[in-house]
Amino acid sequence: MTSPPELQAAVETRSANKVFSKGKPNQVVALDDINITVRSGGFVSLIGPSGCGKSTLLRLMAGLVPPTSGEVLLNGKPADMARRDREYGMAFQRASLFEWRTVAKNIELPLELLGWSKSQRAERSQEMLDLVQLGDFADHFPNQLSGGMQQRVAIGRALAFKPPILLMDEPFGALDEMTREHMQNELLRIWGDTHTTIVFVTHSIPEAVFLSQRVLVMSPRPGRIVADIPVELGERSFDTREDPEFFSKVTEVREALRAIEEAQ
């Protein structure tokens, strides 16, 4: 039934549609015939103007909302089943930390729900805190941390049970430019260390180009994938952001987005 991991897509949508208020006067086609395949270990960004359905698509992948028709598969399982099997971790624009839990306890929450013992949890949360370089902040409460640090905790929490897939919805959207670039470097380092498949929603063109191996450009009303742009920049470094190849990719994505605007 299941194919070998290297052949199996980590995330796959087959003719996925999402219609809100179907059959009512205020019906909205949020997503129209979405076909995406993300191979295991890949890093794919979804970019598009606001209202293009990119967040909805991510929620579909997370099994938080069902598709109206079509299929959404994670590691070969329907998204809802994948959710129950904890196939993915998730991070949002707002860190969404639980303010009554310390940093370490926030990271341990998904492990508690999985029934891990206290010592296993403590060990893993320390490991995750080291990964996101917040080892000294285990006993702080979230409101004692900066926005960037909170977001790092959220990423550590998303990775705590080492899910094969990470779904991220504009996780750096609320951060200032400096912190943002730093977090992008961190995320790539973590991605390299953990071989997690990442689907990343953003509205920043340079961010999408810098991070991903592929950028999927979406158009609004109805939400469609209108361009699939591969990005081959090799190992990212500080210099990547100043590389002419980087700029030409940024231009390519920008033009795809402008084409949407002109078509509307």
Partner 1 sequence: MITDRLRAAAPPIVVGGVGLVLWEGSLRLFNPKGFVLPPPSEILGKLTEDWETVLTASQATGYIVVTGLIGGVILGIFAAMLVSQFRVINETLTPLAVAVNAIPIVALAPIFNYWLGLTSPHSNQAVVVLLVFFPVFVNTTRGLTDVAQGQLDLMASYAAGRWETLRRVRIPNALPYLFTSLRIAAALAVIGAIVAEYFGGRQDALGPVIVQSAGLARYAAAWAAVLAGTLMGMGLYLLVVVLERRLVPWRAQPDLM
Q: Is 226 in the site for partner 1 (CB under 8 A)?
A: no
**Given the complex with partner 1, which of 69 and 114 has the nearer CB atom?**
114
How far apart (Å, rounded) are the C-alpha atoms in residues 12 and 142? 35
The only residue of 138, 141, 229, 240 in contact with partner 1, by rule CB under 8 A: 141
Structure tokens at 257: 């987005």
Q: How many CB atoms lie within 10 A of CB 59?
A: 20
Query: How many residues make contact with partner 1 (CB under 8 A)?
Result: 24
Cβ-based nearer residue to partner 1, 98 or 247: 98
Of the pair 59, 152, the CB lying nearest partner 1 is at 59
Toward partner 1, which CB reaches closer, 100 or 238?
A: 100
Please report, as residue ranges, which positions from 45 to 64 form the binding site for partner 1 (by CB under 8 A): 59, 62-64
Calpha distance 131→147 (Å, rounded): 18
- For partner 1, give the closer residue by CB, 19 or 64: 64
DSSP, residue by residue, 136-180 = GGTT--GGGS-HHHHHHHHHHHHHTT--SEEEEESTTTTS-HHHH
Tokens 């941390």 correspond to 145
Among 14, 83, 182, 189, binds partner 1 (CB under 8 A): 83
In whole angstroms, give the CA distance from residue 190 to residue 97: 20
Q: Is 239 near partner 1 (CB under 8 A)?
A: no
Beta strands (DSSP E) in the chain are 9-20, 28-39, 43-47, 69-74, 77-78, 88-91, 165-169, 197-202, 214-219, 224-230
Per rule CB under 8 A, is residue 2 in the interface with partner 1? no
> Cα 27 to the chain's mean position, in Å?
27
Give yes or no for residue 96 binding partner 1 (CB under 8 A): yes
- From the CB of 92, what's the least distance to partner 1, in Å? 5
- Residue 120 contacts partner 1 per CB under 8 A: no
Q: Contact 151/94 with Cβ under 8 angstroms?
A: no
Q: Is 210 one of the binding residues for partner 1 (CB under 8 A)?
A: no
Is residue 143 involved in binding partner 1 (CB under 8 A)?
yes
Closest CB to partner 1 among residues 113, 228 = 113
**Which one-letter amino acid corresponds to residue 19?**
V
Residues that bind partner 1 (CB under 8 A): 59, 62-64, 83-84, 86, 88-90, 92, 94, 96, 98-101, 109-110, 112-113, 141-143
